[in-house]
Structure 1
Amino acid sequence: MRIIQIALFAGCALVLSACAQIHPPETLGERAETPECIHYRNMMTAPMPPAAMERLRQACRESGPDIRAHAERTLIIMYDGTRQDSAQQVLAAAEQYGAEVLYQLNVVKAIALRMPEGQDVDQAMAHFRQLPGVLSVERDQVMQVQPVPAGPAS
């Protein structure tokens, strides 16, 4: 029983680490890692006037695509891997919607789709949930990891 728990935990950790993306600190907002953002992040601890730091922050914010807007249009669809036709039905429905297949995970049986502009994402979610073998349909999410200050050793 303990081996099953360990294997399950290891599998979950592998899936989460494979799907995770590291984003800039919260002060960067929802922008991608661009040269402007890298420069801003590298200068965050430099002794600079607040106005100069604000200019760097603003340049970062304006330099990249809006990640949250991208995530709003991205669906993660989990399907029953024991059914032969589940993935094919999801992919066929994605084609009907004009959705872009971002990736297909075989270990956890999931497909990520980016819905096209102008398409009602909530309506698409309801449609995909009704397909045979679909277990769940969720919007993608942006998670930000906050640094934990190093404390004294215990």
Structure 2
Amino acid sequence: MMNVKKYEQDKEFMSHVGQLIDHPRFQKLDGIVQHHHSTRLEHSINVSYTSYKIAKKFGWDAKSTARGGLLHDMFYYDWRETKFNKGHAWVHPRIAVKNARKLTKLNPKEEDIILKHMWGATIAPPRYKEGYIVTMVDKYWAIKEAITPLRSKWQKRRVFKRKYLKSHHH
């Protein structure tokens, strides 16, 4: 069987964002590194699906959460290499909203989720509770994606240590 990702099997989630994921403009995010070891496309889907599941569990607006989460980083430059690097936290959500509007009509909640997802690094807090989910989940995935190779390196080292200690213990 092919490697089918969990989110692809979630019919409700895919009914909300499937056409957006398949859109050529969104697919362009696949070639852009996001947090060292993920592409912007992978990061956006991770944030979207995790946020969607949390919103659904709370009985909140899961559709807007999934869509806002998917489109929160809809920009095409490498943020490490731009002249407005320091202003990136403020600038990129505005660029993302403009780009997202080229794919789909956004409702006010989706727009707010995209615009405010850098809350903490920016001043204005989200207007909707769903925006807090995407903000926190975005931070979670940023950290997880950045440290994943370190974790596997540590795990390999631990396994090596165990084997080494066992073989040299006698």
More helix by share: 2
TM-score range relative to shorter protein: under 0.3
Greater percentage in strand: 1
User: TM-score of the superposition, structure 2-length normalised?
Assistant: 0.24
Structure number with bigger Rg: 1
Q: Higher relative CO (CA 8 A, sep ≥ 6), structure 1 or 2?
A: 1
TM-score by length of 1: 0.26
